[in-house]
Amino acid sequence: MIEFLMSFWQTYNTLFYTVLVHGMLALSIYITLACGQLSLGNAAFMGIGAYTAALFTMKLNVPFGIALLAGGMLPALIALIIGAPTLRLSGVYLAMATLGFGEVVRVAFLNMSITGGSVGLNGVPPKTELWHLFAAMGVLIYFFLKLKNSRFGRALEAIREDEVAAAVMGIKTTWFKVWAFAIGAFIAGLAGGLNAHFTYFLSPREYGFDFAVDILTFAILGGTGTFWGPLIGSTILTILPEMLRFIGSYRLALNGLILVLVVIYLPNGIITVKKKD
């Protein structure tokens, strides 16, 4: 039995890392979806966090914690700058702006010398332990639990349900949307920093639009009525390809199919929250 567990662990322990990182990314997009906004820039924010944290530990030799914090703060700061003009407007502007932003970030990673250009960064010190990821996830779950039944969580829900009605009740809609976007960027950057320090290697191609669609699919499959939905969605979509290896190169098409089918037939995702009748 113990032997079986050991071999299971040896085969699958990296899967735990990936499940947790993907879970964090799913939460990072969930918080914008929770106020009715779509961010397609979270893959880029993850990349910025990954490169920032990795450069901090590699070039500046700062403690891991500080590097991670920097990897979260820079994306959050950028999100504030992009979000402020974009989120004054309603509807679909954030999605379009973040789509363009993601492309700029990808091109920047490919062309800047500090990020290693198209080669990427090699030899990021392995500092991430599994418990770091569990701890980060624990803190996030605590945060979302507290948010849920607070005035801030209700304000986000109100904005998602009806932005105009929320505004005339005195909820500062732009302010909430910008902060939700920035917190999401922070979470994505943190996930990137943690991920960088166990994969050793950063490639500029990992943080493009395809990965943004991956993250979106995590959240949409699980459903955005509660934060558990994105966590479950990301877990399923991380483990599933391991089992369905025959899907192989059509994994992205599967994502696409999930997006279309879930949006049309399961608008609340697979986790539905129902109020008591």
Partner 1 sequence: MFLQQFVNALALGSVYALFALGFTLIFGVLEVITLAHGAVFMIGAFAGLTVVTKFNVSPITAILVGMMVSGMLGWLIDLVAVRPLRKRKFHHLAPMIATIGCATIIINVAQGIFGAEVYRFPFDFMPAMSYNFWAIQLTLLQIIIVGVALSLMMMIIFLLNRTKWGKAVRAVAESPRTAALLGIPVERVFQITAFAASALGGAAGVLTGINFNAIHAFMGGPIMHRGIAVIILGGMGDIRGAVLGGLILGFAEIMSVAYLSSDFRDAISFGLLFVILLIRPAGIFGSNLERKG
Partner 2 sequence: MLQLENIVKDFGGLRVLDSLSLQVGEGLIFGLIGPNGAGKTTLFNIISGLSRPTAGRVIFNGTDITHFAPPSIAARGMGRTFQNIRIFKELSLMENLLAGMHRLYTYSPVAMLLNLPIQHREEKAMREKAMEILELFHLAGKAQRQAESLSYGEQRKLELARALATSPKLLLVDEPAAGMNPAETEELMGEIVQINNRGYTICLIEHDMKFVMGVCRQVAVLNFGELIALGTPEQVKCNPQVIEAYLGKDVCKL
Residues that bind partner 1 (CB under 8 A): 33, 36, 38, 82, 85-86, 88-93, 95-97, 99-101, 103-104, 107-108, 111, 209-210, 213, 216, 220, 249-253, 255-260, 263-264, 267
Question: Closest separation between CB of residue 186 and partner 1, Å?
Answer: 21
> Distance from CA of residue 112 to its chain's centroid?
24
If you ran DSSP here, which 8-state letter would residue 170 be given? T
Question: Whose Cβ is closer to partner 1: residue 193's or residue 230's?
Answer: 230
Among residues 151, 243, 249, 264, the one that binds partner 2 under rule CB under 8 A: 151
Distance (Å, whole) CA 223 – CA 220 = 5
Nearest CB to partner 1, comparing residues 93 and 228: 93
Q: How far apart are CA 141 and CA 227, in angstroms?
A: 8
**Helical (H) or strand (E) element with 145:** helix 130-148
- Other beta carbons within 10 angstroms of residue 170's beta carbon come to 7
CB 64 → partner 1: shortest distance, Å? 32
- Residue carrying the six token digits 């349900």: 161
Contacts to partner 2 from residues 157-176, by CB under 8 A: 157-158, 161-162, 164-173
143 binds partner 2 (CB under 8 A): yes
Indicate the SS3 state at residue 157. Answer: helix
Q: Whose Cβ is closer to partner 1: residue 65's or residue 256's?
A: 256
Contact between 145 and partner 2 (CB under 8 A)? Answer: no
Structure tokens at 206: 């990992």
